[in-house]
Structure 1
Amino acid sequence: MPPPEQTTSAAPDFLSELEAFFCDIEQASGIRVCFHDYGYFSHLKLPGRRYQHNSPFCLKIKEDVVGARRCRKCDIDDAVAEANENDEPFIRFCHAGICEAIVPLKNHGQLVAIVFCGQVFLDRKIPPPRVPGEIHRTVPVVPETRLLAAARLIARFLSVRQPVISALADLQPPSRTGNRKIAQAMILLEKNFARSVSVGAIAREVGLSVSYFEHLFKKEMSMSFTAWRHHRRLREAMQLLEVTDIKVCEIASRVGFDDPSYFHRLFKTKTGISPQAYRKRASRTPDPR
Structure 2
Amino acid sequence: MSKHLAALREKDEVLTHLAVGYRQAGFVGEKIAPEVFAEKEGIKVPVFGKGSFVEYETERAVGAASNVITLDRGKTLPVVLEEHDLAAGVDYREQHESRHDEKAKAARRVAAGIQLKQELEIARLIQDKSVYQSGHVEDLAQKATSQWTHADSDVQELLETAKEKVRAACGIRPNILVVGAQVLSKLRMNEGLRSNLSANDRKVLLNIEILKNLLDVDDIIVGESVYTEGGKATKDVWGNFASLIVRPTIVSDGNDEGQTAFAYTFRRRGMPVVDRYDGVGGKVEYVRYTDIRKAAVVGGACGYLFQNPIA
Q: Which interval holds the TM-score relative to the shorter structure?
A: under 0.3
In terms of fraction of residues, the more helix-rich structure is 1
Structure 2 length normalisation: TM-score? Answer: 0.23
- Answer 1 or 2: higher relative contact order, Cα 8 Å, separation at least 6: 2
Structure 1 length normalisation: TM-score? Answer: 0.24
Q: In terms of Rg, which structure is larger?
A: 2
